[in-house]
Chains A and B, each alone.
Chain A
Amino acid sequence: EVQLVESGGGLVQPGRSLKLSCAASGFTFSNYGMHWIRQAPTKGLEWVASISPSGGSTYYRDSVKGRFTISRDNAKSTLYLQMDSLRSEDTATYYCATGAYFDYWGQGVMVTVSS
């Protein structure tokens, strides 16, 4: 059974950093692209970043480019999202997902950026 478990969320002040993790199990992690998607409270879904199976290619939405870094450790079957220079508009539930069509999602982790 595919499982994705996010961790690392919380309350952080504007301008500070946070690192999210997504522990994967139930599939061969190193064979699949991985993604981060977020959802602000009572809002729709917004794609944030993607990474290729090897980690050699990464993609970001413009609003996080230069502030967020997606990475992966295939030996640990874990996906990461390093979030720097956080802004209030980054407040959201962050989901990791796998597969070309976001086939499977984690339960999500809440990130609140507020002073």
Chain B
Amino acid sequence: DIQMTQSPASLSASLGETISIECRASEDIYSNLAWYQQKSGKSPQLLIYAANRLQDGVPSRFSGSGSGTQYSLKISGMQPEDEGDYFCLQGSKFPYTFGAGTKLELK
């Protein structure tokens, strides 16, 4: 199975701060990588797919980058509504696997 190592596990950011979350795959996943945001008690929402494509309706402060085994999600200017848990997903090979998650809080 492909292992997804996500870091950091938690992050505290100030209003307007730019933050990054990383995911490293145990093998090449050929940009088959997505990022999700999950707010407390809600279902996950797709933010980024195919490593760097912004899902419709997602604010442009969210961006994704990476290739091969290394990927990152960047939030350019933390907003209060960005608090929540963030997960990466590799969709390259079954079984699809998620990163362990990053809890993002507003400082």
Q: A residues within 8 Å of B by Cβ? A: 44-47, 50, 59, 61-62, 95, 99-108
Contacts and interface: CB of A to CB of B under 8 A. Distances in A.
Contacts of B99: 44
Given A45-B98, A46-B98, A62-B95, A101 B34 contact: yes
B79 to A, nearest CB: 22
Contacts of B87: 44-45
A20 to B, nearest CB: 15
A103 B44 contact: no
B91 interface: yes
Contacts of B19: none
Interface residues of B, number: 20
Main secondary structure of the interface of B (DSSP, over half): loop
Nearest to A61: B95
A107 B43 contact: yes
A103 B43 CA distance: 12
Contacts, number: 49
Contacts of A99: 46
Interface in B44-79: 44-46, 49-50, 55
B101 A102 contact: no
Given A45-B44, A62-B95, A107-B43, A102 B100 contact: no
8 contacts: A44-B99, A45-B89, A61-B95, A95-B43, A102-B46, A105-B43, A106-B43, A107-B43
Contacts of A107: 43
B94 A50 contact: yes
B46 A101 contact: yes
